[in-house]
Each structure stands twice: as C-alpha cells, then as structure tokens.
Structure 1
Amino acid sequence: MAADLATRFNAVVEEVRNGPAVEASDDDKLVLYGLFKQATVGDADPKDKPGMLQAYSAKGYKWSAWNKNKGMSKDDAMQAYIDKVEAMRA
C-alpha cells in the first residue's frame, strides 16, 4: 500500500510541476508546498525558521505552511497532497 501511495503521490507531484493541471491560488500553493515538504522531509526544523525580518517574506510563508503539518506522518501528508490536488481539479 505504501509503495502504491508513493507512486500516486509522485505522479500527482509531476502533474502539478509540469503544467497547469490545476488552477492554484497562492494559498493553495502554500498548502501544497507544506504538504510536499512534510511528505518528503518530515517536520520542519525550528532552527530553520526565518527570523522576524523574513516572517512576511516568501521564505517565512513557506516555512509556516510546512510547519502547520508538524507531526503528520509522511504517508498522511502524501495522501493529503493527493486529496488537495483532486479537490482543486473539481
């Protein structure tokens, strides 16, 4: 099952990367980024949190989107990513 999930996840990631498979708002892109990082890396490292001057920069928003998924398993993050893309297609 996990191998099947990883295969589906990788296929959906490639779809999103290679074209306008879905219309995505900036908020949607941040959610997808956070889920992707959680699925591929795991929890965000607090040491990498941007400083106050970067809190409202792209780097800060991306780190926050990733950190919102703290504690989520990689499999759950993969499934959530797939579900988010499928919901965006509808």
Structure 2
Amino acid sequence: MDLTAQFEQAAAESKTLSEKPSNEILLQLYSLYKQGSTGDVDTDAPANPFDFVAKAKHEAWAALKGKSREAAMQEYIDLVKRLKG
C-alpha cells in the first residue's frame, strides 16, 4: 500500500479510536493531517482573538512549515498506530 493510501486509511481509523485523545494529541493529529494533505499553512491566522481553538489549530499547523508532505503523512500514520495501541 502506498503512502497516500496508508495516510487515508489512518485518517479513517483516527475517527474510530476507542478513547478520545487529549487536546494536545488532537492538535498534533490535526496539524500533521493538514501538513500531509495540504502542505505548508496557506491561510491567515484567525481574525477573532477569542477563537482559541482556531488559533491553536492554526499555530500547530504553522509550526510544521517546511516539513515535507510525505514526512507529515508518515508521522500521522505512526501516531494513529500508537493511539490504536
């Protein structure tokens, strides 16, 4: 199975985890998914300073700037495997 197929399978599996991951892990999943599927952050930071969730998501994704899509996909796959136990 190629990397993209594994990535898509891991994305599907992440929705069926037996336990809800911590917010920190959820941010990590989100940012790795966005970096793996889209590449470097391509949107402006949220304008609303009180939208803490959107701000955290944007910052987590922006922190991965420069990481290759392939590396992000592999890290995402590995993280989902660890979470599945």
Quick check: 1:6 aligned with 2:14?
no
The alignment partner of 2:46 has SS state of coil
Find the aligned partners of 1:44 and 1:64 in 2 and give their Cα distance. Answer: 9
* 8 A contact 1:22–1:85 mirrored in 2: no
> Is the 1:44–1:70 Cα contact (8 Å) retained in structure 2?
yes
Gaps of 5+ in 2: none
Change (3 A) 1:15 1:83: same
Higher-helix-fraction structure:
1
* 2:78 pairs with 1:83: yes
> Using the alignment, how far apart are the partners of 1:73 and 1:15 within structure 2?
22
Q: Does 2:11 correspond to 1:16?
A: no
Stretches of 4+ aligned residues off by more than 6 angstroms: none
**Are 1:53 and 2:41 counterparts?**
no
Equivalent pairs: percent with the same residue?
Answer: 34
Q: Contact conserved, 1:34 with 1:62, CA < 8 A, in 2?
A: yes
Gaps (5+ residues) in structure 1?
none
> Partners of 2:10 and 2:37 in 1: how far apart?
14
- Separation in 1, partners of 2:20, 2:34: 20
CA gap of 1:85–1:8, structure 2 versus 1, over 3 A, is same
| AA of the residue aligned to 1:7 | A
CA contact (8 A) 1:43 1:70 kept: yes
Task: State the 1:88 CA deviation.
Answer: 2.1
Q: How many residues align?
A: 85
Instruction: Please name the residue that 2:31 is paired with.
Output: 34
Q: Which amino acid aligns with 1:80?
A: E
